[in-house]
Amino acid sequence: MTTRALTDRAANRDAGGAAAARAAAVSPTLAHRVLSLLAVVVLFQGLPTLLRAEATSRVYLSVGFGLLYGALLALAVLTVVARGERGLRRLDVAVLLAALARLGLQAAYATGSGAPPYHDDEGALVTMAARSLAAGGHVYGAHFPGAARLFQVGMTPLMDGRTADTFGYPPLSVLLTAPFGAHGMLPLPGWVPVAGLWSLGALAVTALLMFRLLPPALRPGATVLVLGVTWMFTYAREGYPVFLALPFLVVVLAGWSRIGTGARLGRAGVVSACCLGAADAAHQLAWFLSAFLLLGVLLVRRGELGRWRPALAVTARYGALAAGVFLLLNLPFLLLDGGAWLPGVLTVLTQHASPQGLGPVDVSLWLTSGSGALGLYSAAAAAALLATLVALALWPSRLAPALALLPWPAFFLSTRSTETYFVLLAPLWLVALACNERALFGAAWAWRAGPLRRRTVRLALPPLLALPALTLLLVAIATPPPFRVTATASGPRSGHTVGLSRITATLRNTGDLPLAPAFATGVNAWLDFDWRVVSGPHTVPAHGTAVYVLRRIGAPLAPNPAGPTWLQVLTDGPMTLTNQRLTITR
């Protein structure tokens, strides 16, 4: 063997040894240490701003933020130099406690007699419904038109130009809030955001439960996902009812693959079913997860037990117990509100809210002249949701580990595709992934009808399942809007700009149905409905033309300095959207 060959072999041996050494260096302890350090780093977000904001007013908060800042610096150093797993685990507990202290300080900073209790309509409507319940009034079917004025918040606009002024969620948030509101047994001052504090408390319980249930090396993930990311506090402070479902769903998803093992629920299964019922009584998003969970339990138990009858029986007992808890929490409202209860808890799903979101609906909102079939976006979402359920039945061993995530991609297609469908439930993804053994999913029963055993059929199934949703989506995008619009806007001049206070719009209905228009303007991703029709008919007849004059409610609208300002014409029956660029007269 030549000297060069010996040298090359030695070099290869050294390179292989170096690669092996690098691989060995990424040990479980190092991965745990990095995740622990990340949990410390995310807690620094916003602390300097919060500290400076209270430096001359509520000094005790500024001192608290300063002490927390120093504690986080010390924890960062200790995390890096900790000797082993035992030390890291103790530091993880300290970081979690620091995150809870940060949550408390943030809540104190955002609450005060001089601050509005809410900045969004969810907490305001929960509070109004709770006050009505405590006073002996109705919760479902009742309108609360004074919520916007009382709490100084914007309400969700509907396609017909009205606003959503009814309580449209399951009742758990109202039951918890009512004792502490006006007319309650323990009334608190009106500036205290009771619904928001309940949501923040649920956030803290979620973090503690996740920390307890996750494997030790992944426990810092609870701090990061629940208490570290900024949007969790922002939404919880506004009293979003979905946060009340989170701690219950953490219990449900931690070990869901073992529910009904041996055809028996056992104590863990009973607790899980009760938690699922409570989550369903908190927010409608839990309903969608429940459908996937029940199907997943059935498929896993069918694979374990080998027969349908015991698998169906134990799944049915689990579902019946969850439904019983849900109905028990809803019983007072069934008796109080009668027939208004069911439409009330379905309101968020059935009301035709104005389009908004981060999905394909933006194509019709901002990139084209609109859509004459806006409702098909939500139909596409429903088709995608059903297709995902079928996919879970076909490939349970592959998809079951992602069960906590499966329901939500379909919402990306809906008319109102907001980020709350995704980011607020992210902690559940980690729980379902880390607290269930993947080996249990391998034995799950998979539907394999005769044709499905052929490889070509199996390869064709995913695009076939997606085809209905994709077709509906393309039709929604391609259907032209019903109106042809010309619109001019004018208003008072301020320097070199014109504030818009009056719009004159001519609408020509090209369709075969009379349409009742509602109007909004857009200078960014949010529709502005602060316009009042001062002249013009209620409906535009089929193939007819009408002229509308709109007046601004409140201060004049500042036009978009960097792009067009749009007039958007919406109708509710059917749901349509027409976009027209405003011509601004100076």
Domains and CATH numbers, the chain: 355-479 (no CATH), 483-584 (2.60.40)
d(C-alpha 495, C-alpha 492), whole Å: 10
d(C-alpha 62, C-alpha 479), whole Å: 56
List of long-range contacts for 522-525, beta carbons under 8 Å, 24+ apart: 522/365, 522/366, 522/565, 522/566, 522/568, 522/579, 523/557, 523/558, 523/559, 523/560, 523/565, 523/566, 524/560, 525/356, 525/362, 525/366
Among residues 364, 359, 365, 469, the alpha carbon closest in space to that of 419 is found at 359
Among residues 166, 199, 171, the alpha carbon closest in space to that of 326 is found at 171
| Confidence at residue 458, expressed as pLDDT on a 0 to 100 scale | 75
| Confidence at residue 24, expressed as pLDDT on a 0 to 100 scale | 47
- For residue 359, CA distances in Å to 69, 91, 484 come to 38, 40, 25
Residue 246 is which amino acid? L
- Alpha carbon 199 to its chain centroid, in Å, reads 14
SS (H, E, C) 385-411: HHHHHHHHHHCHHHHHHHCCCCCCHHH
d(C-alpha 342, C-alpha 339), whole Å: 7
Q: SS3 for 434?
A: helix
Strand partners for 509:
483
Global confidence as pTM: 0.91
Mean pLDDT, the chain, integer: 90
d(C-alpha 189, C-alpha 194), whole Å: 10
Residue 340, token pair as written in the block:
């208004």
| Confidence at residue 18, expressed as pLDDT on a 0 to 100 scale | 52
Which stretches of the chain drop beneath a pLDDT of 70?
Answer: 1-26, 55, 113, 449-450, 494-496, 586
Residues 184-211 have pLDDT tens digits of 899 999 889 999 999 999 999 999 999 9
Torsion of CA 317, 323, 324, 326, to 10 degrees: 150
Residues 199 and 176: beta-carbon distance below 8 Å? no
**Is the peptide bond prior to 541 cis by the omega test (within 30 degrees of 0)?**
no
Residues 75-129 have pLDDT tens digits of 999 999 998 899 999 999 999 999 999 999 999 998 876 778 999 899 999 999 9
- For residue 220, CA distances in Å to 196, 223, 436 come to 25, 5, 18
Question: DSSP class of residue 93?
Answer: H
Among residues 107, 97, 104, 123, the alpha carbon closest in space to that of 244 is found at 123
Q: SS3 for 344?
A: helix
Query: Do the bridges between strand 583-584 and strand 531-535 make them parallel or antiparallel, or are there none, so unpaired?
Result: unpaired
Question: DSSP class of residue 282?
Answer: T
| Confidence at residue 181, expressed as pLDDT on a 0 to 100 scale | 87
H or E, element range at 428: helix 426-434
Residue 586: Cβ-neighbour burial (10 angstroms; 0-12, 13-18, 19+): exposed
Q: How many helices (H) and strands (E) does the chain have?
A: 23, 14
